[in-house]
Amino acid sequence: MPFSFLCRAVWCVVLVASASAQTAAPLPASIPTQIPGQNAILMGTAWYPEQWPESRWEEDLRMMESADVKVVRIAEFAWSRMEPSEGHYDFAWLERAINLAGKHHIVSVLGTPTATPPAWLTRKYPDTLRVEPGSQRVTHGNRAHASASSPRYREFCRRIAEEMAMRFGHNPNVVGWQIDNEYGYALMSYDEGTHRQFQDWLQAKYKTLDSLNEHWTTAYWSQTYDNWEEIPIPIGGHNPGLMLDWKHFVTYTWTSYQQNQIDVIRKHAEPRQFITGNFMGFFDGFDHYIITEPLSFASWDDYVGSGHVDPAYNGLAHDLTRGFKRQNFWVMETQPGAVNWSSLNNFLNRGEARAMAWQAIGHGADDVNYWQWRSALNGQEEIHGVLVGPDGTPVPFLDEVSQTAHEFAKVESSFRDTAPLSQVALLYSYDSHWAIQFQKHTEKYDDIGLLKSYYRALRQISQSVDVVSAYAPLDGYKLVAAPSLEVLPKALADHLLEYVSHGGHLVLGPRSGMKDEFNALLPQRQPGYLADALGARVEQYYALEKDVPLSGTWGMGEASIWAEQLATKASGGEVLLKYGKSNGWLDDQPAVVTRAYGKGRITYIGAALDDKLMAAAAEWMTQKSGVTAVFGPLPDGVEVSRRVGPGKQVFVMINYAQETRRVNLPRSMKLVLGDRQGDAVELPPYGVAVGVAGGK
C-alpha cells in the first residue's frame, strides 16, 4: 500500500485548501540516480569558485580530475554573487565555472542558494527574517536566518531558482539540483504571519472547532477553543495533540517551501536533471517521508563529529535515508577527516573515511561527496576539515580520498543497476518519535537507541535491513519489526494485520499501540487495534529505577529503562520471557508474548532488552521468519553489505576491528579491487574488499 493512502488524507485536504500550496509538477517516469556516461558510483566535493580568483579555478579542477573527483556541488551559498542587487542577475561567472569543470570531466550539481539570502534582501525586507520563540528577530550574518513561511521570502526564492533554471536547465554539464541546504535545522519563524498560517492550516484540517476540541480532548485543563485565533503556537510543554499538529504543520511548511522551488526548476530544466535535498540523518524537525516524495531521490550529510564512526549507527542512518523513498540515495556531504562544530573535533583515523565511503556505497549510495574542497579564508567554518588547504595545496587527507575515488572508478561497472535487497524491515515513524519525545515518562527513554539495538542485532544475522515508513509496502519482507510504534491508528493497524495475515512476522516493541493519529490515548489497551490479533495486552507500563531480571526461551538477561506487564487473553499465545523479582507488580509476569495469526505471526516485546537478550531475540525472530544471511558467517568487527542487480550480487566487506580479519567467502568471487578470483580475503583494520558473484 502506498504511504499516501492513509496518513496523507488530511495532508491532501490541507494542501488543496491552502493558498500557498502548489501542485507538484509530474516527474519523469525514471530519473537515474547514477549519471549516464559517468561512473555508476561517484566521488565528489563541494566547490566554491565564488570565494577564489577565477585564475585559480583551472588548477583546482585539474587537481580534482587527477584525484578522480567526478562531481562538484556548487552555488548553494552564492546568492549575493548571483544576484548582487535586487533583480540584477550575474550567472556568467557560474556558467564559466560549470563549463570549465565539464572540460575536466566533472559534472555539477547546482544548489539553490536560499539558505543564505543576501544582505540587501534582509535589510530592505526585514520581514523575511525569522523570529525566534522569544519574539527576537534574528540578524543577518549566519545562515538559515530567513523565514520559510514568509510569502515575500518565498517569492525571492522562487525568482532566483527560476532564473538559475532558465540559465542552466539545459546545460549538459549540470546533472541535477539540490534545493536549499540542510533545510529545517533552524525550524520555524514564530512571527504573527506564521501563527496565522498555522491557525488556517488547523481550520483546513479539522473544519470545525468542535472536531479539533474533541480530538485534542481540550476539556482537559479548560483548553477548549471557541475561536481559531485563540490557538497558540506550542512553545515548551503543551497539549499533545497541538504539539503533534505543530510538527505536521512544520512538515507542511517545509514541503511547500521546497515545492515552490521544484516547480520552477521542473518548468525549465531537462527531465534528465534530478532534484534532491541534503538531509541530516535522524534530524526530526519534519517528516522526511513526506518531504522527500517530490524529489528524484534522497540525499544526506554523513558526519561523525567527535570520536569515530559507529558502523551500526552510521549504517542505520544510511538505511533510513534509503528508506525515505525506498531507493538508492546520495551522500551529499561527508566528513573530510574532521569538523569544526563538535565538542572535540578530532581527526578520523587513517583509513576510516575510506571505510565510511565504502559503507555508504554498500548501503545503497551512488555518490559520496566531501565537504569541502578548500578552506575558506574567513567565515564560521574556516577551520573545518578540507581536501585542500588555504594555500591551495593538498592536505594529507586528499590521498585517502583519491585512493577511494580511484577505486570507485575502477569497479564502477560492477555496481551498475544494483541496489540493496533485504528480507527484514524496521519501521520508523516520525509521529511515534515525536509523541515519545513529548512525553518520555523517563528521561532515559531513547527510541532511536532502541531502534539501533534492534538494527544492530538483526543486521548482524540477516546482513541487510531496510528502514521504512510503517505505511510502506511490506509484502516482500519475511520479518518486520517496529521497536517504538506508539502512534498506531486503525488504518495503520489494518495495514500491518494484512501483512501478518498473508504470512509475515510482525514484532512490536514497547509503547506500541498506545495512541491514535491525534496523539490521544486509545481507549483500548496496548497494542490497541492489534491486541485481539496478539491475543494479549499491556496491563501496565513502568519506568524502571533499576534493571529487572528476565528469563525464558531466549535465555537470561535484564530489562532496563522501561518494562510492560503483559497478560495473555486468548488461546494460542506463548510467553517467551518473564520478569524476575522486581517491584512486585512485574514479578513472574510476561514480558514477551507471541501468537500465530492468519498465515503469519505477531510478537510483542514489552521491555528494552540488554544486548545479550536482544541478540537472542534477533536469532529467534529470524529463524521463526525464515530469514537467511545474505553472505554467511563473518568474523567480529566485519560488516558485509550486498547490492543486487540483473544476474549479479556485489558484496562490500569492511573490517572495523583494529586487527586483521580473514573473511571466508560463501563461494568463489571476483575480488574487483584486487583483480583476482578468490574464496577468502584478508582485511587489515579499515580494510575493504568488493566481491562480485552471479545469482540472486
Give CA–CA dist 268/161, Å, rounded: 10
Give the Cα-Cα-Cα angle 100, 104, 105 (nearest 5 degrees).
115
CA of residue 532 relative to chain centroid, distance? 33
Instruction: Tell me if residue 289 falls in helix, strand or coil.
Output: helix
**Residue labelled with grid coordinates 481550520:** 203
Give CA–CA dist 513/484, Å, rounded: 9
User: What's the pTM?
Assistant: 0.94
Task: Name the β-bridge partners of 479.
Answer: 424, 505
> Residue 412 corresponds to which amino acid?
E
Give CA–CA dist 478/240, Å, rounded: 35
pLDDT for residue 186:
76
Query: Does a cis peptide bond (omega within 30 degrees of 0) precede residue 372?
Result: yes
Hey, what's the cell of 357? 565511503
The stretches in the chain having pLDDT less than 70 are: 1-33, 37, 695-696
Strands (DSSP E) found in 416-569 = 424-427, 465-468, 479-482, 505-508, 536-543, 548-552, 555-568
pLDDT for residue 25:
31
Report in angstroms the alpha-carbon separations of 133 from 231, 242, 254: 16, 16, 18
The catalytic residue positions are: 182, 333
Question: Residue 494: which residues within 8 A CB-CB, separation 6 or more?
Answer: 529
pLDDT for residue 142:
87
Q: Domains in the chain, please, with CATH? A: 10-30+70-284 (3.20.20.80), 424-625 (3.40.50.880), 638-694 (2.60.40.1180)
Give CA–CA dist 72/213, Å, rounded: 51
Question: Residue 467: which residues within 8 A CB-CB, separation 6 or more?
Answer: 316, 319, 320, 322, 323, 425, 426, 427, 428, 451, 455
Which among 2, 114, 94, 99 has a CA at the least distance from the CA of 48?
Answer: 94
- Widest pairwise Cα distance in the chain: 79
pLDDT for residue 33:
67
Contact 529, 493 (CB under 8 A): yes
CA of residue 283 relative to chain centroid, distance? 8
H/E element, 181: none
Q: Alpha-carbon dihedral of residues 31, 32, 37, 41, nearest 10 degrees? A: 150
DSSP state of 584: S
Question: Residue 401: which residues within 8 A CB-CB, separation 6 or more?
Answer: 43, 67, 69, 336, 353, 370, 387
Question: Residue 323: which residues within 8 A CB-CB, separation 6 or more?
Answer: 428, 466, 467, 468, 469, 472
Question: Residue 476: which residues within 8 A CB-CB, separation 6 or more?
Answer: none
H/E element, 409: helix 397-411
Which among 155, 153, 152, 143 has a CA at the least distance from the CA of 184?
Answer: 143
pLDDT for residue 26:
34
DSSP annotation string for 357-373:
HHHHHHTTEEEEEES-S
The tens digit of pLDDT for each residue in 40-75 reads: 999 999 999 999 999 999 999 999 999 999 999 999
pLDDT for residue 15:
36
**Residue labelled with grid coordinates 539570502:** 117
H/E element, 210: helix 209-216
DSSP state of 221: G
Hey, what's the cell of 570? 486468548
Task: Name the β-bridge partners of 177.
Answer: 110, 275
The tens digit of pLDDT for each residue in 256-308 reads: 999 999 999 999 999 999 999 999 999 999 999 999 999 999 999 999 999 99
What is the CB-side half-sphere exposure of residue 270 using CA atoms within 13 A?
Answer: 12
Q: DSSP alpha helices (H): ranges in 412-489?
A: 430-438, 447-462
